[in-house]
Amino acid sequence: MPLRLLGGVAIRLRAPREPPPEFARSYGDLDFVTTRRARRDVPAFFRDRGYEPHTSFNALHGQERLLFFDTENDRQVDVFVGSFSMCHRIPLDDRLELDPISIPLAELLLTKLQVIELNEKDVRDTLSLLLDHPVGEEDGDMLNAAQVARLCADDWGLWRTITQNLTICRGYAETFELAPEVRSLAEERLDALLERIEAEPKSRAWRLRARIGDRKRWYELPEEVRR
């Protein structure tokens, strides 16, 4: 059963070294992605490991997302199915098995930056990811800027949010107490990613949606799930 991590835990496990003190944080919930084909195997997998399903949520949303709880440790597990959908949809089904631990670094970055109201935790995770991995045109331990650019070039709304949040992260990089060479590297990789996104030829759908711009909401507002 393909099951790959995303979120802060995935960023930490893919890091080649300990994070700078400025980016160290605790981790509570666990987030995974599985394929559409494997979705039916997920409930038994987590039930056998002591997790209780969120029965009503899973009945309504199980085609896209499943929730489980570890009551003893006060921990929640989210399992996204085929894609990551919050403020924007990030397709994952065809790229899920490129790495044995997490979703690819390109999509890992996008899942962090797709939120319309970026918080400091997301900024720290984004900068940590970029400091740990070079920006290039391949997957593996390199952040595939070509994949990020392709997804943004097909979806004006995603482009709008991602480029906005990359710019916000660049501003934050100046406020953290980082060594000058570390800050310079973060800014260099943020700029390289923004430049690669802008250089990618945009689809016809992107250009048509760009004409409307901010006059129409370009993102979803995910519902808050309570146990």
- Reported as a single tens digit per residue, the pLDDT across 193-204 is 999 999 999 999
SS (H, E, C) 99-124: CCCECCHHHHHHHHHCCCCCCHHHHH
Residues with Cβ < 8 Å from 157, sequence gap 6 or more?
88, 209, 218, 219
Of residues 219 and 177, which shows the higher confidence score?
219
| CA–CA distance, 4 with 61 (Å, rounded to integer) | 19
For all residues of the chain together, what is the average pLDDT?
93
Q: Mind listing the pLDDT tens digit for each residue in 154-172?
A: 999 999 999 999 999 998 8
pLDDT at 226 over 80: no
Whole-number pLDDT of residue 152:
98
Whole-number pLDDT of residue 21:
80
Strand pairing report for 52-53 and 143-144: unpaired
Q: Mind listing the pLDDT tens digit for each residue in 32-57?
A: 999 999 999 999 999 999 999 999 99
pLDDT at 227 over 80: no
CA quadruple 164, 167, 172, 178: dihedral, nearest 10: 140
Q: Are 128 and 23 in contact (CB under 8 A)?
A: yes
pLDDT band at 19 (very low <50, low <70, confident <90, very high): confident
Q: Which residues pair with 182 in a beta bridge?
A: none
Q: Is 227 helix (H, G, I), strand (E, B) or coil?
A: coil
pLDDT band at 18 (very low <50, low <70, confident <90, very high): confident
| CA–CA distance, 112 with 63 (Å, rounded to integer) | 22
Name the one residue in this structure whose structure tokens are 């070509």.
146
Count the neighbouring beta carbons within 10 Å of the beta carbon of residue 20: 16
